[in-house]
A = this chain, B = another copy of it.
């Protein structure tokens, strides 16, 4: 079922506009190509409306934001909303600085997002005005575990309802909810945390999944999360002695490149609550 969301990316090749940080942008572009989408990057306010108009989705990632790119986010986001394009927010570092937190909050106020995807600390910051973001990584104290799973699911459902969009919290256990149902996903490996930008890559890919599955957005978001985690597992199986996080990054993108609906269906580990 979720495998079809993947199949639809490969058959429709959605063009995704990314306003994203310069740290991980190359990997975002390559993973979008790997999954069957097509990436374009533009953050200049005078450029973004034209660019987003020819795309199927817009991925706004606030890492390495600046005053110019923030203006670009709002202009592109308004145009994407006007055209009913898929719109995703990745609030990188929300909670780590006032500018990041305030920008994320203002973007949520003024734009209509389909999905907000972040780690638990970033999402808690947006939901509760608190959370203990440790730089761009989630704080261990916030982590979703089997022990606190029920309350974490309730928290994500509740915030999705309030925010009026899908919330995707990724970590050891991933949660994706539209306020009614909640996918609980157990793909992935801890070693993915040693690669910079797996979250950014997932946000780019998720935007493509939603653009390719406009009538099944919750399933599409969950499928993107499964695909990323499964790629982390398959990539790990191919690691050889001496390979480290840089090679792991390449193998992860390679794994997406080779994944198809059947591989996905065989490896995806999720339940719906």
A positions within 8 Å CB-CB of B: 15, 21-27, 29-30, 33-34, 38-44, 46-47, 50-51, 54-55, 63-68, 93, 96-100, 134-137, 194-197, 238, 242-247, 249-258
**Complex interface: chain B residues within 8 A of A194 (CB):** 33-34, 257
Q: Cβ of A24 and Cβ of B26 under 8 Å apart? A: yes
A64 in contact with B38 given A253-B245, A256-B244 (CB within 8 Å)? no
Q: Cβ of B197 and Cβ of A246 under 8 Å apart? A: no
Q: Cβ of B51 and Cβ of A97 under 8 Å apart? A: yes
Q: Report the minimum CB–CB distance from A192 to chain B (whole Å).
A: 11
How far is A197 from B29 in the complex, measured between Cα atoms in Å?
9
Q: CB < 8 Å: which of B24, B99, B246 contacts A249?
A: B246
Q: Cβ of A253 and Cβ of B257 under 8 Å apart? A: no
**Complex interface: chain B residues within 8 A of A41 (CB):** 21-23, 63-64
How far is A200 from B8 in the complex, measured between Cα atoms in Å?
29
**Complex interface: chain B residues within 8 A of A254 (CB):** 242-247
A246 in contact with B30 given A22-B22, A54-B134, A99-B47 (CB within 8 Å)? yes
**Complex interface: chain B residues within 8 A of A243 (CB):** 254
Q: Cβ of A26 and Cβ of B253 under 8 Å apart? A: no
Q: Cβ of A137 and Cβ of B38 under 8 Å apart? A: yes
**Complex interface: chain B residues within 8 A of A197 (CB):** 26, 29
How far is A29 from B100 in the complex, measured between Cα atoms in Å?
20
Which partner residue on chain B sits nearest A93 by CB separation?
B40
How far is A34 from B54 in the complex, measured between Cα atoms in Å?
35
**Complex interface: chain B residues within 8 A of A249 (CB):** 30, 246
How far is A196 from B35 in the complex, measured between Cα atoms in Å?
13
In addition to A30-B246, A244-B254, A250-B250, 17 A-B residue pairs with Cβ atoms within 8 Å of each other are A15-B134, A22-B25, A23-B39, A26-B26, A26-B27, A30-B195, A30-B249, A33-B194, A33-B245, A34-B244, A34-B245, A42-B64, A50-B96, A238-B242, A242-B254, A246-B252, A246-B254
Q: Cβ of A33 and Cβ of B68 under 8 Å apart? A: no
Q: Report the minimum CB–CB distance from A240 to chain B (whole Å).
A: 9
Q: Cβ of B97 and Cβ of A47 under 8 Å apart? A: yes
How far is A41 from B30 in the complex, measured between Cα atoms in Å?
21
Q: Cβ of A245 and Cβ of B30 under 8 Å apart? A: yes
**Complex interface: chain B residues within 8 A of A258 (CB):** 242, 244
Q: Cβ of B247 and Cβ of A55 under 8 Å apart? A: no
Q: Report the minimum CB–CB distance from A190 to chain B (whole Å).
A: 13
Q: Cβ of A196 and Cβ of B39 under 8 Å apart? A: yes
Which partner residue on chain B sits nearest A253 by CB separation?
B246
